[in-house]
Structure 1
Amino acid sequence: MNREDIKYLLKHEPYKIGHFVGFKDLTSLHNEWLKSFLYAKEDQTLLAHRGSYKTTCISLFLAIHTIIKPNEFVIFFRKTDTDVQEVLKQVAKILRTGVIQRIVQVIYGKDLIIEKDTANEVHTNLCTSTKGSSQIVGLGITTSITGKHADIVITDDICNIKDRKSKAERENTRTQYMELQNVLNRGGRFINCGTPWHKDDVISMMPNVKKYDCYSTGLITREKIEELRRSMTDSLFAANYELKHIADKDAMFKKPQFTSDISAIYNGMAHVDAAYGGEDSTAYTVFHQNGDEIIGFGKLWDKHADDCIEDIKRLHNHLRAGSISCEKNGDKGYFAEKLQKNGFSVKTYNENENKYIKISTYLRSNWNKIKWLEDTDPDYIDNILDYSEFADHDDAPDSAASLLRLMQNRRQYNPVKGGI
């Protein structure tokens, strides 16, 4: 590699350095993460699912940053000192690889020498600053930071399952994170990485959040996602892979089942729980019963029901659903009329049953019979998994339970084939 090749590699394709040093699974997504870590000017927070190689990207960033900006100092925080040590050990290994040695030779015309390689510090001969600090210092989040200063502060998984279970742990981590503001030099920046564990954990304090859940990265197959879901509690799966918080203790609904057979839902019945503002969501549900098995699909929109009609129409046709039901109590039939004008075959009803009783009766009794299409909205499923009598949001379970009740109470149903 000549100087121009190296300049292009460092600026545009730093993930390929990862390939050269053995991280063959890094993708163009990781390239974007690395470029952001290396060249962004603002604080940032990257939340990514387990197994997304975010810590690998941090290790690679630390090594590359050490050679391209040798006089900028980094303090790297994890939950414990032991957690820090494994990352700094990896950074030192990367710096010793042939590709890094070659890059340094071309840029600086000399060999790279690691002058300090301990459990908590890495320092090279490229640094010409007289500050006396190591280029990289790694610390556990509870370590004293008196007198410490850095141009970049990195936090990686400083909250974990302990923060989910313990309010005291959450408060302690939040306090420690606030203390880190005193470490940053003027003009410096924060890079935060991690996984949220609780709605009040330290992640809620971090700026400029970008989330990458297991459905968006393409790093885990659908089959593997379902295998992981079956291997742990719903709340643990939601935290680790969907980057969400859902209830766990005494949950009414657990372990949803999925299927990829879209044809099994054709000619099913549909239901809409319409929202008209506030914090409510518009929920759309389709069910088709095949013997003792019910094939389901659900979608949530955090917007006014009127703004969902085109999406509902598209999904309704895609799933070849028949009639669509909605209650007329709250809006006196307004939304049913809107649906009819858009070509839907609409059934309306008056709701007079307690919502909790309806959900606990119809949805709970049928839960183990339902297989959800894999394209079902994860937010819709989580809305059900998070349900309790005192849940803040219940649009998805309400829609599902209402449709199951309609199906159960109708002796016959003649589906309208071909959608709307």
Structure 2
Amino acid sequence: MNSRKKQALDLLWNEPYKIGHWVGFKDLTILHNEWLRSFLYADDDQTLLAHRGSYKTTDLSLFLAIHTVIQPNENVLFFRKTDPDVEEVMTQVQKIMGSPVMQRLVRDLYDTDLQLVRSNTTEISTNLCTSSRGVSQIVGLGIGTSITGKHADIVVTDDIVNLKDRTSRAERERTKIQYMELQNICNRGGRFINTGTPWHKEDAISTMPNVRRYDCYSTGLISRAKLEKLRQSMSDSLFAANYELKHIADKEAMFKEPKFTDDERLIYDGLAHIDAAYDGEDGTAFTIFKKQLDGTIVGFGKRWDRHVDDCINEIALHHKRLRAGTIECEDNADKGYLRKELRNNGLPVHGYHESMNKFLKISTYLRKNWKNIIWLEDTDPEYINEILDYSEFAEHDDSPDSAASLLRKIDTKATYRNVTGGI
């Protein structure tokens, strides 16, 4: 064995994380080297749970690139929550494989140049593969994609549990079923690698094997000052789940356990509201509510971290799809600007002057009605999460403010367009 090949093998066995440093991931530590070596060389199924911002997905991207080189005839099926999530990682893997360091490693190991013979947002294969099976070395899929007929030597899941699993019981059950179905596609002698962050005590992570946990205190990746800032920006329960990797009851939370429905017809002819962002760190929130004869309220919410001007087209699409009526919007700050813009886009709108304290409004109208609200399944998880995390000192309150403002309008007997069965 020549010295260059021996050096390459020693690097890949002992310190593969250095490849990450050479391709730009300078923050990877000895801990990430331990994770990466486990992904590459362990024989058993494993589940790595690490806090948010711990670079576990970066480490997984390195694994996918390196494994494709050192075990070219093994195939990997890689799953994330959605197709766009998959594309993000697959693009990163391709960049790693196209880097000078990976090209050099392949020349040292195989005395040939590394070529990507198939390279897109869902599949990667190289000229190193000599298997006659005809499958790509890496196939990336959203967790909800059909897996009929697929098989793999290694099944990798990354963040298949996310914010939506925290807010929706139906989503938690759906993810559990999807994860169970993956058990049938792993080849005999194959293995599972799961990585993620828990969001709820009953999510799919609770069913995963051989769990190793790395909380925000054990990794040393986040300073104490930064941790305190993060702690102040969210509810105790969310911080505990995402950074301490444990579940606690949020005793002080105003809003818990949202309910959902997939029957969007129930919201037709509802009233709408926009909480607009113009600058700074505020977001734009859009809400629709329709009160039913039995007193329940069917709701829909959407939130953007954008100026309201950049949200109007999407708002119009949601408004049309859900057949909403008049849109209420505050005109204190903008002197009626948003009202004019909405009218110019053909949307029915009514402006009002806001004089009520925001915390009082949310703690009165949203809190009083919360148990009666049933949200549409396609309500934005970010919107619901902002409500669940709300307190008097919350960093963001656009969604609960929009919901409370609209509920106040309904409570004061707002009229609906084409009302059938509403108030």
Instruction: Give the TM-score of the pair, scaled to structure 2.
Output: 0.59
Distance 2:205 2:199 in 1: 8
2:32 & 2:116 partners in 1: Cα distance? Answer: 26
3-state SS, counterpart of residue 134 of structure 2: coil
2:43 is aligned, of 37, 41, 44, to 41
| 1:370-385 superposed matches below 5 A | none
Per the TM alignment, residue 96 of structure 1 is displaced from its structure 2 partner at its CA by 0.4
State the TM-score, normalizing by the size of structure 1: 0.59
- What are the within-5 Å matches in structure 2 for residues 8-407 of structure 1? 8-248=10-250, 250-251=252-253
CA distance in 2, matches of 1:21, 1:199: 37
Cα distance, 1:128 vs. partner? 0.4
Gaps of 5+ in 1: 253-420
Larger radius of gyration: 1
Mapped partners of 1:66, 1:231: distance in 2? 40
AA aligned opposite 2:178: Q
**C-alpha displacement of 1:250:** 4.2
How far apart are the structure 1 equivalents of 2:49 and 2:94? 25
| Percent identity of paired positions between Structure 1 and Structure 2 | 71
Secondary structure of 1:18's aligned partner: helix
Q: What amino acid sits opposite 1:6 in the alignment?
A: A
Is residue 4 from structure 1 mapped to residue 6 from structure 2 by the alignment? yes
Q: Which moved more, 1:203-212 or 1:239-248?
A: 239-248
The alignment partner of 1:228 has SS state of helix
Distance 1:162 1:25 in 2: 29
Q: Report the alpha carbon displacement of residue 109 of structure 1 after superposing the two structures with TM.
A: 0.8
Measure how far apart 1:247 and its partner are.
2.3
RMSD over aligned Cα, in angstroms?
Answer: 1.1
Deviation of 1:248 (Å): 3.0
Other structure's SS at 2:96 match: helix
Q: Alpha-carbon deviation of 1:231?
A: 1.2
Please give the secondary structure, in 1, of the residue aligned with 2:219.
Answer: coil
**Residues 140-192 of structure 1: per-residue CA shift (max 9 Å, x gap):** 00000001100000000001111111111111100000000011000000000
Q: State the one-letter code of the partner of 2:218.
A: S
Could you tell me which amino acid in structure 2 is paired with residue 31 of structure 1? N
Render the CA deviation track for 1:173-229: whole Å, top value 9, x for unaligned: 000000000110000000000011111110110000000000000101111100111
How many Å separate the matches in 1 of 2:133 and 2:251? 52
1:114-150 Cα distance to aligned partner (Å, 9 max, x none): 0111111111110000111100000000000001100
Cα deviations across residues 8-59 of structure 1 (Å, max 9, x unaligned)?
1000000001111111110000000000000000000000001100000000
Alpha-carbon distance in structure 1 between the residues aligned to 2:235 and 2:207: 26
Q: Distance in 2 between matches of 1:32 and 1:193?
A: 14
Structure 2 counterpart of 1:50, one-letter code = R
Q: Which amino acid aligns with 1:235?
A: S
Distance 1:65 1:249 in 2: 46
Question: How has the CA–CA distance of structure 1 residues 122 and 228 changed in structure 2, closer, same or farther, with 3 Å as cutoff?
Answer: same
Q: Structure 2: which amino acid aligns with 1:65? A: H
Where do 4+ consecutive residues of structure 1 move more than 4 Å?
Answer: none
Matched AA of 1:156: D
C-alpha distance after superposition, 1:320-355 (max 9, x if no partner): xxxxxxxxxxxxxxxxxxxxxxxxxxxxxxxxxxxx
SS at match of 2:195: strand
State the secondary structure of the residue aligned to 2:217. Answer: coil
1-structure distance, mates of 2:161, 2:19? 29
Partners of 2:115 and 2:207 in 1: CA distance: 39
Distance 2:108 2:10 in 1: 13
Partner in structure 2 of residue 346 of structure 1: none
- AA paired with 1:201? D
Aligned equivalents of 2:81, 2:31: Cα separation in 1: 26
Task: State the shift of 1:85 in Å.
Answer: 0.3
CA–CA distance in structure 1, aligned partners of residues 243 and 48 of structure 2: 14
- Give, in whole Å, the separation in 1 of the partners of 2:161 and 2:94: 25
Q: Residue 175 of structure 1: SS of its match in structure 2? A: helix
Structure 2: how far apart are the matches of 1:44 and 1:104? Answer: 28
Q: Distance in 2 between matches of 1:35 and 1:23?
A: 17
Q: CA deviation at 1:249?
A: 6.3
Measure the CA separation in 1 of the matches of 2:253 and 2:162. 22
Paired position in structure 1 for 2:353: none
